[in-house]
Structure 1
Amino acid sequence: MPVPAWPPDWPRAHGDPPVAGEYRLVPEDFVVEEWLGFAPEGEGEHLWLWLEKRDLGTPELARRVARACEVTPRDVGYAGMKDRFAVTRQWLSVHLPGREAPTDLAERLAAAQVTLLEQARHPRKLKRGVHRGNRFRLRLGGSAVVHPAFASRWERIREAGVPNYFGPQRFGPEGRNLQRACGILARGWRKRDDRQGMLLSAARSYLFNELLAERVRRGDWDRALPGEVLMLDGTQSLFVAEAPDAELAGRVAAGDVHPAGLLWGAGESTAREAAAALEQGLGAAHAGLCAALAESGVRTARRALRVRPVAAELRHEGETATLGFTLPRGAFATAVLRELLCHPTL
Structure 2
Amino acid sequence: MPLASEAWLDRYIGMNYYITDCEGIDGKVKQNLEDFIVEEVLIDGQVVPTSITGKPLPRIVGKPGPWVWMIIEKRGIDAITLSLILSRKLGVSPRDISFGGFKDAVAVTSQIVSVRGISINDVPSDFGRDIKVLSAVGMDRAFITGNIWGNEFTIRVRNIDISKRDSINCVVNQLMERGLPTYYGYQRFGLKRPNSHVIGRHIILGEFESAVSELLAHAYPMEPPRIREIREFIARTGDYSKALELMPRGYRYYPERAVLRQLSSNPRDFVNALRKLPRELLILYVESYQSYLFNLALSERIGRGLPINRALPGDMIALLDEHGLPTKHVIYVNESMVDKVNELIVKGRAIPIGHLVGYNTKFPPGPQSDIEIDVLKREGVDLSMFRVKSIPELSIKGSYRSLSVKPIIININLVGNELNIVFRLPRGNYATALLRELMKSKQPEIDFT
Query: Do the structures match in fold with TM over 0.5?
Result: yes
Q: d(CA) in 2 for partners of 1:325 and 1:93?
A: 26
Does residue 179 (structure 1) correspond to residue 198 (structure 2)? The answer is yes
Structure 2: tracts of 5 or more residues without a match: 1-10, 45-58, 209-270, 390-394
- Specify the alignment match of 1:229 in structure 2: 316
Matches within 5 A, 1:69-148: 69-96=90-117, 99-102=119-122, 105-106=124-125, 109=126, 111-128=128-145, 130-144=147-161, 147=164, 148=166
Aligned-partner SS, 2:351 = strand
Q: Is the radius of gyration larger for structure 1 or structure 2?
A: 2
Does residue 250 (structure 1) correspond to residue 269 (structure 2)? The answer is no
Root mean square deviation, CA, Å: 2.6
Q: Once the 2 structures are TM-superposed, how far is the Cα of residue 69 of structure 1 from its aligned partner?
A: 3.5
Q: d(CA) in 2 for partners of 1:300 and 1:71?
A: 31
Find 1:170's aligned residue among 188, 191, 212. Answer: 188
- Specify the alignment match of 1:239 in structure 2: 331
Q: Deviations over 1:72-128 (max 9, x none)?
A: 43322211111111000001112236x44237x11xx16343222121121012235
What code does the residue aligned with 1:32 have? Answer: V
- Specify the alignment match of 1:51 in structure 2: 72
Q: Which moved more, 1:186-195 or 1:277-286?
A: 186-195
Q: d(CA) in 1 for partners of 2:407 and 2:94?
A: 34
CA distance 1:276–1:96, change in 2 (3 Å): closer
Q: d(CA) in 2 for partners of 1:42 and 1:183?
A: 44
- Specify the alignment match of 1:213 in structure 2: 299
Q: d(CA) in 2 for partners of 1:16 and 1:8?
A: 21
CA distance 1:300–1:92, change in 2 (3 Å): same
Q: Is the 8 A contact 2:13 2:295 kept in 1?
A: no
Normalization by structure 1: what TM-score?
0.87
Q: d(CA) in 1 for partners of 2:415 and 2:38?
A: 20
Q: Once the 2 structures are TM-superposed, how far is the Cα of residue 159 of structure 1 from its aligned partner?
A: 4.4
Q: Once the 2 structures are TM-superposed, how far is the Cα of residue 301 of structure 1 from its aligned partner?
A: 0.7
Find 1:37's aligned residue among 35, 43, 60. Answer: 43
- Specify the alignment match of 1:341 in structure 2: 439
Aligned-partner SS, 1:136 = strand
Q: Deviations over 1:226-262 (max 9, x none)?
A: 1211022412232111224323223334543221011
Q: Once the 2 structures are TM-superposed, how far is the Cα of residue 70 of structure 1 from its aligned partner?
A: 4.0
Q: Which moved more, 1:46-55 or 1:147-156?
A: 147-156
- Specify the alignment match of 2:405 in structure 1: 307
- Specify the alignment match of 1:198 in structure 2: 284
Q: d(CA) in 1 for partners of 2:91 and 2:121?
A: 9
Q: Deviations over 1:172-212 (max 9, x none)?
A: 24532122222222226878377220111111011101110
Q: d(CA) in 2 for partners of 1:188 and 1:7?
A: 20
Q: Which moved more, 1:77-86 or 1:279-288?
A: 279-288
Q: d(CA) in 2 for partners of 1:24 and 1:289?
A: 39
CA distance 1:226–1:52, change in 2 (3 Å): same
Aligned-partner SS, 1:326 = strand
Aligned residue pairs: how many? Answer: 338
Q: d(CA) in 2 for partners of 1:75 and 1:171?
A: 26
Normalization by structure 2: what TM-score?
0.69
Structure 1: tracts of 5 or more residues without a match: none
Q: Is the 8 A contact 1:231 1:239 kept in 2?
A: yes
What code does the residue aligned with 2:23 have? Answer: P
What code does the residue aligned with 2:203 have? Answer: I
CA distance 1:288–1:295, change in 2 (3 Å): same
Q: What's the % identity of the aligned pairs?
A: 26
Does residue 152 (structure 1) correspond to residue 170 (structure 2)? The answer is yes
Q: Which moved more, 1:263-272 or 1:288-297?
A: 288-297
Does residue 6 (structure 1) correspond to residue 12 (structure 2)? The answer is yes
Q: Which moved more, 1:119-128 or 1:33-42?
A: 33-42
